[in-house]
Amino acid sequence: MPLYRLIRPILFRFDPERAHALSLALWRGIGSSDALSAAAARALAPRNPRPVELLGLRFPHRVGLAAGYDKDGIAWRGLAAAGFGHVEVGTVTPRPQPGNPRPRVFRLAGDRSLINRLGFPSAGARRVSPLLETRRSNAAVLGVNLGKNKDTPLERAVFDYEDGMDRLGPVADYLVVNVSSPNTPGLRELERRDKLEPLLARLVARRDEIAGRAERVLPLLVKLSPDLDDTALDEALAAVEATSVDGLIATNTTLDRPELRSRRRDEPGGLSGAALAARSTAFVRAVHRRTGGRLPIVASGGVMGPADARAKLEAGASLVQLYTGLVYEGFGLLRRIADEP
């Protein structure tokens, strides 16, 4: 997008978290004003949206905003007004926590990628829930991505997820169980079948209670790591299918380091952006093949342009999500992808 290419060098002079905070403040302001929301929609929203029926919900189109951009739900109304088909808030933990020490986000500009080791900084479910209660008049589907607190032992993780579901399920259109962030110590152990299946069985039962009281659907998805090998993926999918979870987010960030040019390439943390694109698409294809297309897939990871989105849809995804692509391409990326035939 020509205009964004003029602005991006200025934004990149700021620390990544500072630049992100400025963008959230902008979208929060846009979301508080009907006039500004309408202007954002005129400038950015898809011109020819094609609705998608999935998970018992109606999505205005296939392109959404991934978790991580609006962690605490402060700007989702403005982001929805911009035209995203769905906005996924979070990751939200039950209790507030600061996340890992700074610096913890690094641009790999030469690779059009990011490394982050944020560690679920969160205002906590009690503070996030009221921000999601009052809906504005837009059609975007609202998802909430749930995590556990860093100091919660793995054997008690289920209580953290249940707490998050109880507080945020009533105000969300769908929920995501995040067991795959590489930045919370030990969290990925929950992807093992012996831990994942009992966890999901409890959470599906809790979801059913929440949805039953509200007399509506409340899809529950799981976000998986792209770093699972074939055996681990088979085990995780067996747990997902055994518990009747509704779908998958594929994928989280990777600890793998392909050939990268940027000097910050060895920073610890999860890698996202263009360097993740092929790995994430291959993961989507593997999931689709192993499940025979029975399990809806939301593809996230390395969607930097229409070709990346198309590759993930052709691999078996039903929806795609953006985040790092917005850092390098700007919000015009939304319309470019959603309006493609």
The C-alpha atoms of residue 311 and residue 275 are separated, in whole angstroms, by 15
* Cβ atoms 60, 48 nearer than 8 A: no
* Cβ atoms 239, 196 nearer than 8 A: yes
CA distances (Å), 73 to each of 46, 56, 288, in order? Answer: 23, 23, 31
Residues 6+ apart with CB under 8 A from 155: none
The C-alpha atoms of residue 110 and residue 153 are separated, in whole angstroms, by 38
User: Max CA-CA distance within the chain?
Assistant: 53
Q: Which residues are known catalytic residues?
A: 181
Answer positive or negative: Cα dihedral of 276, 1, 86, 28: positive
